[in-house]
Structure 1
Amino acid sequence: MTVRRYRSGRIARTPVVIAGAAAGTVGAAIGLSAHFARRVLTPARLPEARTIVRAVDSDADGRGRIWLRGPDAALPGKYSFIFDDGSSHARLGAALEQVVRGRDRLVAREVLAVDRGSLRPGARGRVTGWWYTDPAELGFETRRVGLRLEGGPSWAWIVSPPADRALDGRWAIHVHGRGALPEETLRGVAPFARAGITSLILAYRNDPGAPRGLRGRYGLGLAESRDVDAALAWVREQGATSVTLAGWSMGGTACLIAAARGPQHGLVDGLVLDSPAVDWSGLLDRQARLSRVPTGVARLAGALMQLGIVRGAVPGRRSTDIASLSPERFAAELRVPVLIHASPGDTFVPWEGARRLAELKPESVRLRQGAGEHVKLWNVDPGSWERATETFVRGLTEGERTP
């Protein structure tokens, strides 16, 4: 390569130099996008623990309270606080007081119960919408069963309705979201039990006690829907004649796929979805903004997954078919009624995907607009959430094919 110097001493950039710089820029963009794509597909080794206990005391009425600093500390509603690397659990009521000290915002919440562990200053954990940690807390008969998924043996909880309400052949399958565990879905089980429906709470690939996903990755609902298919086949063997799928976040994606195009779709009579990931292209854009990277990085990451350049987690396929995870595709394929709980205030999964699906299928998709953060609508107003869900599933039981 040769270079020319101007009289000023500057190096004149030849086409070779310019091309090399451009290639370096493109290579950097591809590398960043590939990293972003792999992060979306890969489960975190440990859940985040960015909320810290600053103090534990009592308010003027003698109620126990905890002072927290960190994400979601001030959210309205009632929540679980999971701390000590997941080994400890407390239930927190409403936010009682907020104090700003320098850069810190401390929030006091009522302590309703400490189920495991000991709340103390310095403890780290996360505020989550789970609330229940064991199905027995719901007050219904429960048991744990084994079932086989595509990658090997797994397990599930069965929650049975009261014997005098149980409906023959009516089941529901509850599917948690990305980075969560089956416990996440327990909030949504009671309305099904009151309606006489038997519930299966599924542990799918990458959950503790379940098979490892292909390459240890998630499939954005595409791989996980195969586990929903396996659960549908299992409940059919137990005598199920119709099954309602209840999905949270990415679990909602898996349920949509199973109901729209899965091998057991004929068994599905309806869907109940909370904060579902309906539009993965829009979701990747949102995640890019949250990560403070250009949205172009997210779109290139989607292309790399779509082309299989970044390998996905669906057995037998290199690619992750993000193009099929859109409101338009789901609207064209769905043939059953759908109830969606979603919030415009969801900062993690854009609610526009759910709204678009409801606009495209007004005859069969009902969008219930709630208030709250991602998969935390029940926590803000559990009564309304459960009433809407119970009314919907009772309508399915009575043969109403539209909400």
Structure 2
Amino acid sequence: MAATTTPARKAAIAGAVTAGSLVAAGALSAVAAASYYARRVLTPDRQRPDDTQILVVDGDSVTLGATPDTLSPGRYGLWLDRDRGHARVGEVLEVNEASGRVRRELLGVDFGHLTPGFARWNQYYFASTPDRALGLRTEYVDVETELGTMPAWVVPAAAESDRWAILVHGRGATRQEGLRAVRPLHDAGLNVIVPSYRNDLGARSGPDGRYNLGLSEWRDIEDAGLLAVRRGARALVLVGWSMGGAIVLQTLSRSWLAERVTHVVLDAPVIDWGDVIAHHAQVNGIPAPISGLSRALMGRRSARRLVGVHHPVDVAETNWVTRAEELQHRILLIHSVDDEFVPVGPSLALAAARPDLVTMERWERARHTKEWNVDPERWEASVAAFIGS
């Protein structure tokens, strides 16, 4: 005999179905939010907006709208007229908080015209190529990679040398990021190669067009190192900024080049992508569970289509605090406690875990990868002493 469904039981069943639907909808929303955040982390930034207002140009100074960048100490650049011009600015001379203005030294106009209007902040200070920006003889070469040729600059040492430095820029950056290191390395007698890697503007795209947080990009750096070895390199110095630091660490772990590396210089490096992803989630108001789910989705083969990657990106493999015992190379680690983009915590933790290998150069006031800008003399002296030891 069939049981009679009472009105109360019907209400309970309806409530359970509704609750189950809400839970399912909530789970789908969480997965969608986590997938979106994961894609944001892995997608290259192609467009850079004009973010700086030029208000007054007056002889040897320029007045700008006040922003965290334009108020930063040190020397920087300004891209003008959609990259058709470039100027260099120095220290802050005056700040007018009431009007939101800051006046800085004008160190020179490299090309184009500096006039009031909008410009784009250039944290690399230098523009163009090593020969134009630094006056150093430069070869324009193509590096053969598994994806095809990738453009690179080679700055030969003044005298014959079997020491080479490979400069690896960061996420969304360009090869110009490495120009700040070229002069001190060249002066130390090293040949310098500044390569591009997959998904750079002007370079080949990877299979998915996404960053892999160093887990695939290291192959292109290995190919740049092979070019150096074929040209006589017997000792290599690897230098990486931000995600370039993560790429360098993967190169040391995965590549045959590691046996030829004698020194490693990391500037504001990503030591642990999990920490960086969690930091940016917090800054952008993304709940911690969504951030954690996004990291998990990146590494799941079943979620490749959701995240948009060809191969899973295992964020755990980028945590060099937990992998500290695997390191075998001497590292100069330059990082500012003022870094707003890649928190300094994992760098300090790695230095504490491996004091036998890691020399920590701690800056107190410099935004992300701007340690050289704030104190170029200290940066260059530290690097020169380290690679000369």
| TM-score using structure 2 length | 0.91
- Which residue, 70, 73, 79 being the options, matches 1:73? 70
Alignment of 1:298-317 (within 5 A): 298-308=291-301, 309-310=303-304
Give the equivalent residue in structure 2 for 1:375.
369
Give the equivalent residue in structure 2 for 1:143.
139
Letter in 2 for 1:123: F
| Superposed CA offset, 1:7-39 (max 9, x none) | xxx999711111111111121111111101001
Determine the C-alpha separation between the residues in 2 that align with 1:218 and 1:87.
28
Determine the C-alpha separation between the residues in 2 that align with 1:130 and 1:184.
9
Determine the C-alpha separation between the residues in 2 that align with 1:151 and 1:89.
33
Say how many residue pairs are matched: 380
The Cα of 1:198 is off from its aligned counterpart by 0.6
1:49 aligns with 2:53: no
Determine the C-alpha separation between the residues in 2 that align with 1:247 and 1:180.
12
The Cα of 1:187 is off from its aligned counterpart by 0.1
Give the equivalent residue in structure 2 for 1:99.
96
Q: 1:363 to 1:393 in 2, by over 3 A?
A: same
- Which residue, 119, 125, 131 being the options, matches 2:120? 125
Determine the C-alpha separation between the residues in 2 that align with 1:282 and 1:356.
12
Please give the root-mean-square deviation of Cα atoms over the aligned residues, in Å: 2.4
Alignment of 1:247-396 (within 5 A): 247-308=240-301, 309-310=303-304, 318-370=311-363, 371-395=365-389
Determine the C-alpha separation between the residues in 1 that align with 2:127 and 2:29.
45
The Cα of 1:149 is off from its aligned counterpart by 1.6
Determine the C-alpha separation between the residues in 1 that align with 2:201 and 2:229.
25
The Cα of 1:261 is off from its aligned counterpart by 2.2
Q: Is this contact kept in 2: 1:4–1:12, CA < 8 A? A: no
Q: Give unmatched runs, 5+ long, in structure 1.
A: 396-403
Q: 1:201 to 1:313 in 2, by over 3 A?
A: farther
Determine the C-alpha separation between the residues in 1 that align with 2:143 and 2:87.
31
Give the equivalent residue in structure 2 for 1:90.
87
Identity %: 35
Determine the C-alpha separation between the residues in 2 that align with 1:289 and 1:109.
33
Give the equivalent residue in structure 2 for 1:111.
106
The Cα of 1:40 is off from its aligned counterpart by 0.7
- Which residue, 216, 220, 229 being the options, matches 2:213? 220
Q: Is this contact kept in 2: 1:37–1:310, CA < 8 A? A: no
Give the equivalent residue in structure 2 for 1:399.
none
Describe the SS at the equivalent of 1:38: helix
| Superposed CA offset, 1:77-100 (max 9, x none) | 110112433333210111222223
Determine the C-alpha separation between the residues in 1 that align with 2:224 and 2:294.
31
Q: Is this contact kept in 2: 1:219–1:313, CA < 8 A? A: no
Greater shift in the superposed pair: 138-147 or 358-367: 138-147
Q: 1:295 to 1:90 in 2, by over 3 A?
A: farther
Determine the C-alpha separation between the residues in 2 that align with 1:56 and 1:287.
35
Determine the C-alpha separation between the residues in 2 that align with 1:240 and 1:307.
39
Q: Give unmatched runs, 5+ long, in structure 2.
A: none
Q: Is this contact kept in 1: 2:78–2:119, CA < 8 A? A: no
Greater shift in the superposed pair: 181-190 or 136-145: 136-145
| Superposed CA offset, 1:179-201 (max 9, x none) | 11001101012221121111101
Letter in 2 for 1:162: A
Describe the SS at the equivalent of 1:264: helix
Q: Is this contact kept in 2: 1:78–1:380, CA < 8 A? A: yes
Q: Is this contact kept in 2: 1:305–1:322, CA < 8 A? A: yes
- Which residue, 149, 154, 173 being the options, matches 1:153? 149
1:204 aligns with 2:204: no
Determine the C-alpha separation between the residues in 2 that align with 1:265 and 1:225.
12
Greater shift in the superposed pair: 380-389 or 67-76: 67-76
1:30 aligns with 2:31: yes
Q: Is this contact kept in 1: 2:89–2:107, CA < 8 A? A: yes
Letter in 2 for 1:66: T
Q: Is this contact kept in 1: 2:243–2:269, CA < 8 A? A: yes
| TM-score using structure 1 length | 0.88
Determine the C-alpha separation between the residues in 2 that align with 1:140 and 1:203.
19
The Cα of 1:127 is off from its aligned counterpart by 4.0
The Cα of 1:154 is off from its aligned counterpart by 1.1
Q: Is this contact kept in 2: 1:253–1:278, CA < 8 A? A: yes
Q: Is this contact kept in 1: 2:267–2:369, CA < 8 A? A: yes
Letter in 1 for 2:110: D
Describe the SS at the equivalent of 2:117: coil
The Cα of 1:105 is off from its aligned counterpart by 2.4
- Which residue, 239, 242, 250 being the options, matches 2:232? 239
The Cα of 1:3 is off from its aligned counterpart by 12
Determine the C-alpha separation between the residues in 2 that align with 1:304 and 1:281.
13
| Superposed CA offset, 1:70-124 (max 9, x none) | 44110011101124333332101112222234xx622222221122332233323
Determine the C-alpha separation between the residues in 2 that align with 1:333 and 1:378.
29
Determine the C-alpha separation between the residues in 2 that align with 1:107 and 1:22.
52
- Which residue, 126, 129, 137 being the options, matches 1:134? 129
Q: 1:216 to 1:272 in 2, by over 3 A?
A: same
Q: Is this contact kept in 1: 2:88–2:125, CA < 8 A? A: no
